[in-house]
Structure formats: structure tokens, C-alpha cells
Amino acid sequence: MKIMTNGMRGCRKGPEAWFTGTVWIDEIVAGAAPSRMKVNRVSFEPGARTAWHTHPVGQGLHVQAGLGRVQLKGGPVQEIRPGDSVWIEAGEVHWHGAAPGHTMVHLAMQETDASGLDVVWLEHVTDEEYSEALG
């Protein structure tokens, strides 16, 4: 067992290659082998969002605060609120982030595949895609 105190973990700004707007990432836990689990607390400022991306083993999201949006490629934009959980299947192209005019904080939980890969980043979500009517 390992207890990671708050002072042991860092916070980093989300890279512009992966996000539109300001996003902060706090590592919650990254399991040591044989575990492949990674959990991050991700804080989105209003309008901030991920780029389109996939996960080779899938991803779970759990909204802690604020108002967010999530979308599968080709599907409707959906609203997510505190207490909502989302499961994204392996290989599904998607994005998630804060709703316009709102912040959003979620836990992002995923495993790496056998090669150590946990996410494949794609193109940025356009303002038009982000602003689509809710489905």
C-alpha cells in the first residue's frame, strides 16, 4: 500500500496540443505494474475542452463540479452534471469539457494498453462542433 499525500502530487497545465482553453490536470493515482490504472482530476475553465481523442482500453469520467459537455464523433453533444458518470468504450472518438459560461471538474480514469499507451490525440474540436445544440 502507498498513501500519496496532497503534497506529493503535482498539478500541471494541460498542453495546447491536447486542449482548447485553460485546463489543469492533477494526478490522483498512477498504478505501478502490473497495474495500468491512471486517474486524473481535470479542471476546465469556461469553454475549455479536450481535442478529439480515443483510448485503447476505454475511459471513465465522473463529474465532480460544474457543467460539462461530452460528444462521440457523429453523435449529439450531451450535457453532464455533478454526479454523472460516463463510460467511453475503447476506440470511440470523443471529446469532453466545460459548457459555455461554466467551469467543470471531472475525474478521468483509464488504463494503458500493453505498450503503455492510454490516449491517442486527434484534431482540435472546432468552435462550430463545440457550439452544436445539445442532443
pLDDT along the chain (135 residues), means of 10: 81 96 94 86 98 97 98 97 98 98 98 92 97 92
Helix/strand/coil for 30: strand
Please tell me the distance from the alpha carbon of residue 79 to that of residue 131, in angstroms, as a whole number.
12
Assigned superfamily of 6-130: Jelly Rolls (2.60.120.10)
What's residue 121's pLDDT? 98
In the prediction, which pLDDT does 129 show? 96
- The pTM of this model reads 0.92
Domain ranges of the chain: 6-130
Nearest partner of 45 among 72, 67, 18, 15, judged by Cα: 67
As a whole number of Å, the end-to-end CA separation of the chain is 44
The pLDDT score that the predictor gives to residue 21 is 98
Q: How much is the pLDDT for 130?
A: 97
pLDDT for the residue 1? 84
